[in-house]
Chain A
């Protein structure tokens, strides 16, 4: 569905272009989508196995949400520079901040289950920045920004420590998934962040390590993903941890944990796994 028509040919009678990444409508003269920053004049890059590359956002592209704008700067480790409008706010993990205007106030998001996660050894604090003013974010390794505008009534699950920032009108919670960690790191399980929109649209920006690919699974269609590759999924995609035994005479069996994802819905993966040690 994604790669059928080149975007320029979808313009209807009112001369609008639909973004193939986030489905937002854009002015015909626009070069990039105003809601997600995806270039509109470049055809989607889809592999034969059905993975679509996340759009490579051009340097200095502007993205609009509520009364705020986000400008994406740089390409190898992109920076998201937010110009917060008055009354807007965004939340994020505090360590992804790169710079800010002095006037932008910071606060901590009150969270019910948050203590448990801190107790598990993670310095986990969600910070909130209120407009007006500028604040910029980046993560710590080569990768791509994945801009996911959320329509009302959407639920999105994201791997822990993958989201860069999120607009304030999105509800945030997290769940713990057992067994879902690369066996190299002891298989202690991981958290998954959940973003839910109610009546208003929202914006989530993720940072995927390496390259990011997305695929839409049909109902009942399954794919097996290495846990380190998982980046995000629609809440309608179910995840099941599977153990693959690799027998070996002398050492006994090594077990490999894999995540089986079953549609319907989108699933996003990253090609590089950077493990954030949880001490």
Chain B
């Protein structure tokens, strides 16, 4: 029998072990690999499907698990999963539901794969369960040898035996977080500790393969395993606005960007984004314009640049406030991810006196 809600095989009992729904005798949903039925434009669909299949992160052969039978490739993180041994509902390295189909829009954005409530991720000898659907909680069960680091305001609860301490950070002193110095806190196992942010959205699990790095916009970080290296750089995306006699500098993707990498061993990075998460793979030379504050993460190979667009307002002078859009242009190749809930770009219509490398278009 199969669960009618999530498609997990249920050998005994009348309740699904992964989502808790009642089980019926309906046949399983079509397998993940099958091509979605063509919608309206038959020519456009194969392209987006192809894109969806190539969305997985680059992965060296050494990271693959030994073949023991039926295998499936996780659509999100590219991990090979042994599905022959039993009812596995979630990818053990990123928590994405395996039986559910991830949908790519006709424009080529891929929705983050649905995650079943209580999906469990494995890292080292530790595990992480992601609980809840509105404001998900990352509940870590740390093994004695494992530790994670986080910014202390995301802590939700912990067992008294978990040892937490401040993490020393080279160069972290010039990072300012909501008016407070950014202090990373480290939690050492054994024990349970849980984290959540204060905004409805999604938890994004990014397993980092050895040698892989990812650039993340500031304030997106939730928690990472201690073997993930943390660094920051200045993305050099800025513009200066004249307001009266004052000149203000604005950094639409932040003055600093976080770079997480895992040089030797695989690591796990968890982010929290507002609303829904969309990802796409940009081909070599492909570009896309996104709202700067919507960016979540990008591969380091993706370059960024500002773009100012002036809509055609006819002969009426609407003033600066309605007369300009500020975009972030992303250059492929590489993965980029955006969130559907994002802040307003500051002083978008202001009088810009100077800016970083940018292009302009007048309609």
Contact = CB atoms under 8 A, between A and B. Distances in A.
Interface stretch (A162-170, A195-203, A268-276): A268-276
Interface in A12-32: none
Interface in B177-230: 178, 180-181, 183, 185, 192, 194, 196-200
B141 A49 contact: yes
A251 B155 contact: no
Contacts of A184: 153, 178, 180
B244 interface: no
B132 A211 contact: yes
A212 to B, nearest CB: 8
Interface string B44-69: 00000000000000000000000000
Contacts of A48: 120, 127, 129, 139, 141
Interface string B151-174: 011011111100011101000010
B160 A224 contact: yes
A182 B198 CA distance: 12
Contact of B160 (A41, A44, A223, A246): A223
A211 B130 CA distance: 12
Contacts of A211: 131-137
Nearest to A211: B132
A222 interface: yes
B200 A182 contact: no
A116 B335 CA distance: 56
Interface in B76-102: none
Contact of A271 (B21, B117, B156): B156
B120, B165, B197, B200, most chain A CB atoms within 10 A: B200
Contacts of A63: none
Given A6-B14, A222-B160, A248 B183 contact: yes
A272 B178 contact: no
B166 A246 contact: yes
Interface string B281-316: 000000000000000000000000000000000000
B135 A256 contact: no
Contacts of B155: 226, 256, 258
B192 to A, nearest CB: 4
A43 interface: yes
Interface string A35-58: 000000111110111010100000
Contacts of A228: 198
B156 A223 contact: no
A271 B160 contact: no
B342 interface: no
Given A247-B166, A272-B198, A42 B20 contact: yes
A210 B118 CA distance: 15
Q: Give the size range of B's interface with the partner.
A: 35 or more
A241 B105 CA distance: 49
Nearest to A49: B192
B160 A248 contact: no
A142 interface: yes
B200 A142 contact: yes
A92 interface: no
A10 interface: no
B132 A271 contact: yes
Interface in A65-100: 76
Contacts of B194: 49
Interface in A157-198: 182, 184
A53 B129 CA distance: 13
A64 interface: no
B15 interface: yes
Given A49-B139, A222-B160, A225-B156, A272 B183 contact: no
Contact of B117 (A53, A141, A210, A254): A53
Interface string B2-36: 00000000000111100111100000000000000
A137 interface: no
Interface of A: 6, 8, 41-45, 47-49, 51, 53, 76, 141-144, 182, 184, 209-211, 213, 222-226, 228-229, 244, 246-251, 254, 256, 258, 260, 269, 271-274
Given A47-B129, A224-B158, A271-B196, 17 more contacts: A43-B15, A45-B118, A47-B118, A48-B129, A48-B139, A53-B132, A141-B200, A209-B135, A209-B198, A210-B198, A211-B136, A223-B159, A224-B157, A229-B196, A246-B165, A246-B185, A271-B136
Closest 10 CB pairs of A and B: A210-B135, A211-B132, A272-B135, A43-B15, A246-B166, A271-B196, A271-B135, A43-B20, A142-B200, A49-B192
